[in-house]
Amino acid sequence: MTLPRKKIISANWKMNITASEVAPYLTTFLEEMKQIDGVDVILIPSFTSLPKTSELLTTTQGIRLGAQNISSYDKGAFTGEISASMLRDLFVHHVLIGHSERRHLFGETNAVIHEKMKMTLRNEMKPILCVGETLEERRTGKEKQVIEQQLREGLQDLSLDQIDNTMIAYEPVWAIGTGQTATVEQAQEAHFFIRSIITELSNISTSQKMRLHYGGSVTPHNAEELLSAPDIDGALVGSASLDPHSFAKIVLKAQST
């Protein structure tokens, strides 16, 4: 059973694009978006650029706001953390959780990631859970084991309704920021596997509805091929999203697949 799933393209700006750079970016990007229809777009700025992006997007249809991280704590004495209610206050709809940079550079474990998933869902935002193996894990044939564990621990004890409100991004660590994209076959195989685990954790209808992003060196040149694979429903774009023209080109490619 295959259901049509609307394509979704997300821009993870990471630690780039300051608040004062948001307006010029959006002027260009929104102009190019006028020709685009039938694709969902998520912009995921840094925390300090969220207010400006939120302000400029409020009247724009079809583009949603995401955050790059969330605190696993509710509120109080947690210096440097950003809470769910702070994000909701800025009309954030989506939260990236467990990005490989958070896992590998900032030591986030599957247990912390699971807390962040619950916090996001409790506050009526939608998590994008990032999973993916390192180069070493792929070389030693452990990629499926790693992905399965990240999914099972990240999604454990979530209700069906909560899983329905979740998206997954498959981002092989070796493909992020390296220019070394996964081949379409590698990416499709991983996405198919992810969907089969989602079926086990929920049911076939939920897993068929769930949109899965691929992330890792997506560019306007390789987006179309990747997005044509049956289980790849979107792209989570880092470097190529920093230029509004190149990000718009990727969205345009999604429209034609």
Give me the active site residues, please: 99, 171
Q: Does 217 bind ligand 13P (CB under 6 A)?
A: yes
- What mask, x for binding ligand 13P by CB under 6 A, covers residues 126 to 165? ----------------------------------------
One residue of 238, 247, 253, 254 binding ligand 13P per CB under 6 A: 238
Dihedral sign computed on CA atoms, order 244, 49, 97, 199: negative
One residue of 69, 72, 120, 239 binding ligand 13P per CB under 6 A: 239
Q: Which stretch binds ligand 13P (CB under 6 A): 71-79, 137-145, 188-196, 214-222?
A: 214-222
Measured CA to CA, the distance from residue 67 to residue 47 in angstroms comes to 7
Name residues contacting ligand 13P, limited to 48-107 (CB under 6 A).
Answer: 99
The structure tokens listed for 68 are: 């790059």
Q: Does 172 bind ligand 13P (CB under 6 A)?
A: no
Least distance to ligand 13P, CB of residue 75, Å: 27
Enumerate residues 6+ apart whose C-beta is below 8 A from 117: 97, 127, 129, 154, 155, 158, 166
Nearest residue to ligand 13P by CB is 238
Closest CA to 217 of 234, 233, 236: 236
Q: Which stretch binds ligand 13P (CB under 6 A): 25-33, 35-43, 135-143, 212-220?
A: 212-220
Least distance to ligand 13P, CB of residue 173, Å: 9
Enumerate residues 6+ apart whose C-beta is below 8 A from 55: none
Enumerate residues 6+ apart whose C-beta is below 8 A from 25: 17, 244
How far apart, in Å, do the first and last CA atoms of the chain sit?
19
Closest CA to 64 of 8, 140, 134, 137: 8
Which residues of the shown chain bind ligand 13P in the complex (CB under 6 A)? 12, 99, 171, 176-177, 215-218, 236-240
